[in-house]
A = this chain, B = another copy of it.
Amino acid sequence: MNLWGKRNDMVVHEREPFNAEPPPAALTGGPAVALTSLDAFFSRNHGPIPDLDPAAWRLEVDGTVTRPLSLSLEELRTRFEETEVVATLQCAGNRRTGLTGVRPVPGETPWGPGAISTARFRGVRLADVLARAGPAPGTAHLAFTGADVAPGARPPQPYGGSVPLEKALGPEVLLAWAMNDAPLPRVHGAPLRAVVPGWIGARSVKWLRRVTARTTPSDAYFQTTAYRLLPADAGPGRTGPGDGIPLGPSPLNCAVLSPVDGSRPPAGPAQVTGYALGGEHRTVARVEVSADGGRTWRPADVDEPAGPWVWQHWRTVLDLPRGEVEIVARAWDSAGTTTPESPAALWNPRGYANTSWPRVRLCCGPG
């Protein structure tokens, strides 16, 4: 068996903490909603994978609530309405290699375009659990704490983060125990994880132990210090708690899945495929693809959105000339916002949120 049940062609960036992304071919869209199979779903971790006993496990709901709760899995399943959401989860560092091509990003995982995946999650609404606990006036954020301990955090601590109450109350935010109709795999957070559709994956905390109502955002390292967009010129001395912009809602993003960067296809008609994600609650309205580095563009066929939380695959056929070819793609969301051109303007010290036009360089031989 491969690492954590993953397919044997996963790109494993680290074995512990386990950080791996599927090859682009494993993310290509199919005829229906493009769910990612469990053996291909990307895995982003900050510590060793916990091994929790579901029978002994409990979820604590505490903080600024009038009735703190301690719930077993069975109690969660029977006392609240079960529901499902199809959600694309994307790491804030997805496509980081596009930024490291501008300037190195030391100490961060060099994600390609595969730190993104989609699954159908099943569980209960966080809003329903919170309503049972009764948030006190002034409650403005919900903090999640996992059972995984991150040795790289300052100081080492359980993984955690928070979302504003307004987002937490959305019917799409789940506490989930199943993924693609299977029990939540251990590597993806069993027995229970948060699923926060439309937001960076970092807020969908795995191995969930505690949900804490607060008047302020989580004071966990992964909220105060990591997952923040620092100014490009921020040195190590400027990266303390509270610096930079805390990342939350996912930005509009777009990637090419095929052909693969650096490959040597024959000249002539070639299918170009990829995905785009609208971000937050938006969908993707248009994708354009260029075979000449961005001078001329043609529209791609974009799949209808399966919902505001789900990526959309796209495809078109380009006539590739012989020689060096640069394929470029760009996307527009449902409000008319488009992706920025250059990774140089987006570079930031931790290498988050590379939404620049994906570029795939080919050398096309005789057809």
- Given A245-B286, A286-B245, A341-B345, are A297 and B336 also a contact pair (CB < 8 Å)? no
Q: Which of B286, B334, B335, B355 contacts A231 (CB 8 A)?
A: B286
Listed residue (A251, A252, A340, A353) with the most chain B CB atoms within 10 angstroms of its CB: A340
**Interfacial residues of chain A within 214-251, with CB under 8 A of chain B in the complex:** 229, 231-233, 245-249, 251
Cβ of A285 within 8 Å of any chain B Cβ, yes or no, is: yes
Taking CB atoms, residues of chain B closer than 8 Å to A336 are: 229, 245-248, 251, 352-353
Taking CB atoms, residues of chain B closer than 8 Å to A285 are: 245
Q: Mark A22-51, 1 if CB is under 8 A from B, else 0.
A: 000000000000000000000000000000
Closest to A233 in B: B297
Taking CB atoms, residues of chain B closer than 8 Å to A352 are: 336
Taking CB atoms, residues of chain B closer than 8 Å to A231 are: 286, 288, 297, 299
Taking CB atoms, residues of chain B closer than 8 Å to A346 are: 338
**Interfacial residues of chain A within 319-367, with CB under 8 A of chain B in the complex:** 330, 332, 334-342, 345-346, 352-353, 355
What are the 4 closest A-B residue pairs judged by CB atoms, nearest first?
Answer: A229-B336, A340-B340, A249-B335, A245-B285
Taking CB atoms, residues of chain B closer than 8 Å to A288 are: 231
Chain B nearest Cβ from A238, distance in angstroms? 11
Count of interface residues, chain A, beta-carbon cutoff 8 Å: 34
Taking CB atoms, residues of chain B closer than 8 Å to A340 are: 338-341
Chain B nearest Cβ from A266, distance in angstroms? 28
Give the CA-CA distance A338 to B246 in the complex, in Å: 14
Cβ of A280 within 8 Å of any chain B Cβ, yes or no, is: yes
Q: Mark A171-211, 1 if CB is under 8 A from B, else 0.
A: 00000000000000000000000000000000000000000
Please report whether the interface of chain A is mostly helix, strand, loop or mixed according to DSSP.
loop
Give the CA-CA distance A232 to B285 in the complex, in Å: 15
Contact B280 A335 (CB under 8 A): yes
Give the CA-CA distance A294 to B347 in the complex, in Å: 14
**Interfacial residues of chain A within 2-21, with CB under 8 A of chain B in the complex:** none
- Given A286-B231, A340-B340, A345-B341, are A335 and B299 also a contact pair (CB < 8 Å)? no
Chain B nearest Cβ from A72, distance in angstroms? 36
Q: Mark A296-324, 1 if CB is under 8 A from B, else 0.
A: 01010000000000000000000000000
- Given A340-B341, A341-B342, are A335 and B232 also a contact pair (CB < 8 Å)? no
Chain B nearest Cβ from A78, distance in angstroms? 31
A-B contact pairs, 14 of them (CB 8 A): A229-B336, A231-B286, A231-B288, A231-B297, A231-B299, A245-B285, A248-B335, A251-B336, A337-B353, A338-B340, A338-B345, A338-B346, A341-B342, A341-B345
Give the CA-CA distance A148 to B355 in the complex, in Å: 42
Taking CB atoms, residues of chain B closer than 8 Å to A249 are: 335
- Given A251-B337, A286-B245, A346-B338, are A332 and B229 also a contact pair (CB < 8 Å)? yes
